[in-house]
Amino acid sequence: MKIALFTDSFLPGIGGTENVVLRLGEELSKNHEVMVFAPDYHREFADDKLPFKVVRSKSIGVSKSDFWALPALSKNVKQAINEFKPDIVHSHTQGMLADFANKYAKKNNIPSVTTAHTKFSYCYKHALKLPFLVKPVMLRIGRRVKDADRVTAVSASMKEEIALYGVKDKEITVIRNGSDCKIREKVDKARNDRFALLYVGYIINYKNLKFSLDCLKELKERRRDFVFNMIGRGPSEKSIKRYIKKLGLTDNVIMNGAVTDRAVLDEIYAKSDLFLFTSIFDSDGLVTTEAAGMETPSLVLEGTGASEKFTDGVTGFMAKNSVKGVADKIEELMGNPEKLTSVGKTAKKIIIPWTEITKQYEKIYIEEIEKKKK
């Protein structure tokens, strides 16, 4: 089978969708021919080291880490896909590459699949300074989703999100993201001098980071001692640093920047008592799975995409979406290290290998190809 994957989020970018497309492409390449279409990030990257062909579209940078592809202006994209002649196209974007993929599929009578990863309604409400622009942007995204033959979402909450784009008559299949994170058979969980909380991810305000800090401020006012390690880079670093100082948390919160060494990051996960992930924006949250591999339980908010894969008190912990609710839960866990240890050990149950996820996508590909033959 020849499979063309389209994405506006790929290496050398850093994020969940980037990792999903990479791992799916790697797994599919074991049994199929794969070509990935992605933006040019305007810096060198060793595409030739990957097990599949990567075609870079002309693009425009909207931030240091985000680039929008312009396939209509990219002759190499048109030439590459015409020569490749895919049996199916699969978009992991709702940007202009999705338009290109859907039009190519329709013209050549092959199926198109689209997967929704990102809660654009939440993202654009924060990004667009003119609120009246949000609805037209959402409807445009919805049109791209509607144009696909098959729609998948990475969580039930993401499935609900798609309805906000005006898509209400499409069958949507939920396929969660897989994980290839390291799973330790035995993790040394010797207690730290201070209760150690951890966040790993993009440092941007829509990840609800200021809310996390508000919760920790409440905890400090209760005279609880802790350290909160924040790992990652992002456009809101300066803003977050100012907020930490404003709340009087400079002795408790450490911004460590990016950690690219996997072994070092695994050790940081393993040495933490609790992974604090209060994001409402994330539809899944791969970092919580990485924490689970190191037997570190996560605390997430009830009713979020990240909460769907957890059973409260069994494989993770959940709190009400309030400063008091989160602070209460952390305080409770600080006094119950045995519970943290037992839930940390069972957290590994949430991990689904990419081989299993890839089989689910392959099944969809075959179903859609067979439909086109009828």
Q: What are the tens digits of pLDDT across the range 117-172? A: 988 877 666 555 556 677 888 889 999 999 999 999 999 999 989 998 989 889 99
| Site of tokens 């389209």 | 6
Give the total number of structural domains in the chain.
2
CB 139 within 8 A of CB 168: no
Asked whether residue 190 is assigned to any structural domain, the reply reads no
Q: What is the pLDDT of residue 124?
A: 66
Same domain, 225 and 243: yes
Q: What is the pLDDT of residue 110?
A: 98
pLDDT one-digit tens code per residue, 202-249: 898 889 999 999 999 999 999 999 999 999 988 899 999 999 999 999
Q: What is the pLDDT of residue 183?
A: 65
- What's the whole-number mean pLDDT along residues 261-268? 88
Angle ∠(187,356,184) on CA atoms, nearest 5: 5
Asked whether residue 185 is assigned to any structural domain, the reply reads no
> What CA dihedral angle connects 299, 302, 307 and 312, to 10 degrees?
70
Q: What is the pLDDT of residue 169?
A: 84
Asked whether residue 59 is assigned to any structural domain, the reply reads yes
Same domain, 117 and 214: no
Same domain, 345 and 358: no
End-to-end CA distance of the chain: 18
- Ranges of beta strands (E only) in the chain are 2-6, 33-39, 53-57, 59-61, 67-69, 88-91, 112-116, 150-153, 172-174, 195-200, 226-231, 253-257, 274-277, 298-301, 317-319
Same domain, 204 and 331: yes
Same domain, 7 and 149: yes
- What's the whole-number mean pLDDT along residues 316-325? 98
Same domain, 114 and 232: no
Residue 14 has pLDDT above 80, yes or no: no
| Long-range contacts of 305-309, Cβ-Cβ distance < 8 Å, separation of 24 or more | 305/119, 305/154, 305/155, 305/156, 305/157, 305/158, 306/277, 306/279, 306/282, 308/155, 308/156, 308/157, 308/284, 309/176, 309/284, 309/350
Average pLDDT over all residues of the chain: 92
Same domain, 115 and 242: no
Q: Which of 297, 338, 345, 300 is nearest to 321 (CA)?
A: 300
What percentage of the chain exceeds 90 in pLDDT? 75
Q: What is the pLDDT of residue 187?
A: 60
Q: Which of 227, 231, 217, 302 is nearest to 265 (CA)?
A: 231
- What's the whole-number mean pLDDT along residues 66-79? 94
Looking at residue 7, which CATH number applies to its domain? Answer: 3.40.50.2000
Q: What is the pLDDT of residue 260?
A: 83
- What's the whole-number mean pLDDT along residues 7-34? 93
Cα–Cα distances in angstroms (integers) from residue 224 to residues 5, 149, 206, 287, in the given order: 49, 53, 27, 26
Asked whether residue 187 is assigned to any structural domain, the reply reads no
Same domain, 365 and 334: no
Same domain, 109 and 140: yes
CB 165 within 8 A of CB 139: yes
Domain that holds residue 259: 195-350
Asked whether residue 248 is assigned to any structural domain, the reply reads yes
- What's the whole-number mean pLDDT along residues 8-36? 93
67-69 vs 53-57, strand pairing mode:
unpaired
Cα–Cα distances in angstroms (integers) from residue 47 to residues 17, 39, 41, 65, 136, in the given order: 17, 12, 12, 17, 35
Same domain, 209 and 335: yes
What percentage of the chain exceeds 70 in pLDDT? 94
Residue 179 has pLDDT above 90, yes or no: no
Least confident residue range of 27-36, 73-82, 83-92, 342-351:
342-351
Least confident residue range of 119-128, 243-252, 263-272, 308-317:
119-128
User: Is residue 361 very low, low, confident or very high in pLDDT (cuts 50, 70, 90)?
Assistant: very high
User: Is residue 194 very low, low, confident or very high in pLDDT (cuts 50, 70, 90)?
Assistant: very high
Residue 85 has pLDDT above 60, yes or no: yes
pLDDT one-digit tens code per residue, 332-347: 999 999 999 999 999 9
Higher-scoring residue by pLDDT: 180, 77: 77
Q: On the CB side of 266, how many CA atoms lie within 13 Å of its CA?
A: 13
Query: The whole model's pTM is what?
Result: 0.86
User: Is residue 23 very low, low, confident or very high in pLDDT (cuts 50, 70, 90)?
Assistant: very high
User: Is residue 182 very low, low, confident or very high in pLDDT (cuts 50, 70, 90)?
Assistant: low
Mapping DSSP to helix (H, G, I), strand (E, B) and coil, where does residue 176 land? coil
Same domain, 77 and 212: no
Mapping DSSP to helix (H, G, I), strand (E, B) and coil, where does residue 150 land? strand
Asked whether residue 276 is assigned to any structural domain, the reply reads yes
CB 64 within 8 A of CB 109: no
Same domain, 313 and 327: yes
Q: What is the pLDDT of residue 126?
A: 58
Asked whether residue 359 is assigned to any structural domain, the reply reads yes
User: In angstroms, how far apart are the furthest CA atoms of the chain?
Assistant: 68
